[in-house]
Amino acid sequence: EELSAVDEKTKRKLILWLESVNVARASQCRKLSQLFRDGNMLGDLINRLEGKNPVIKGLHRRPNIRSEAYANLEKSFRFLRKNGKMNARFLWAHDDIMQGVEHIIWSLLDDVWYLYNNKISPHHEDFMFKEFDRTLDRSFDGRTLDSNRNNLKLS
């Protein structure tokens, strides 16, 4: 899947969201790629969204080595992978996030936003299949589905 940058409107939505859940201030979001690199902010965000009891535990608060940041991200990714509604496209992007690749971080955040706002991301496979089905339905010009026999009949 070709990745496009998250547009400015989406970034504003995400910044307001991060502020509203007390994970980051707008002024910090200019350095979002740096803040996400060690995995703490993602873990904190998930814990905040999940409620009272933390679900992401044992984060290395000041990771000194790469493997500690990787472990932080993996804890969050493992939790998100268990949720069948989460778009999995970036849940193995440890290296990109630790390198601060901005469009991946913004896109991952957007996917998390969709998950926790009970919406289907336009990048999620369920959404893509629904769009494919709609396209397929329109491509049967002059044909209808006989629902009783589940076969195609020419009109």
Q: Which residue, 109, 131, 150, 132, is CA-closest to 18?
A: 109
Which contiguous run of DSSP H or E holds residue 152? strand 151-154
Q: What angle do CA 87, 90, 18 make, to 5 degrees?
A: 80
124-154 pLDDT, tens per residue? 555 444 544 554 444 444 444 444 444 444 4
The model's pTM is 0.74
74-92 pLDDT, tens per residue? 999 999 999 889 999 999 9
Q: Is the dihedral of CA 125, 82, 110, 68 positive or negative?
A: negative
In this structure, of 44-48, 87-91, 115-119, 120-124, the range with the lowest mean pLDDT score is 120-124
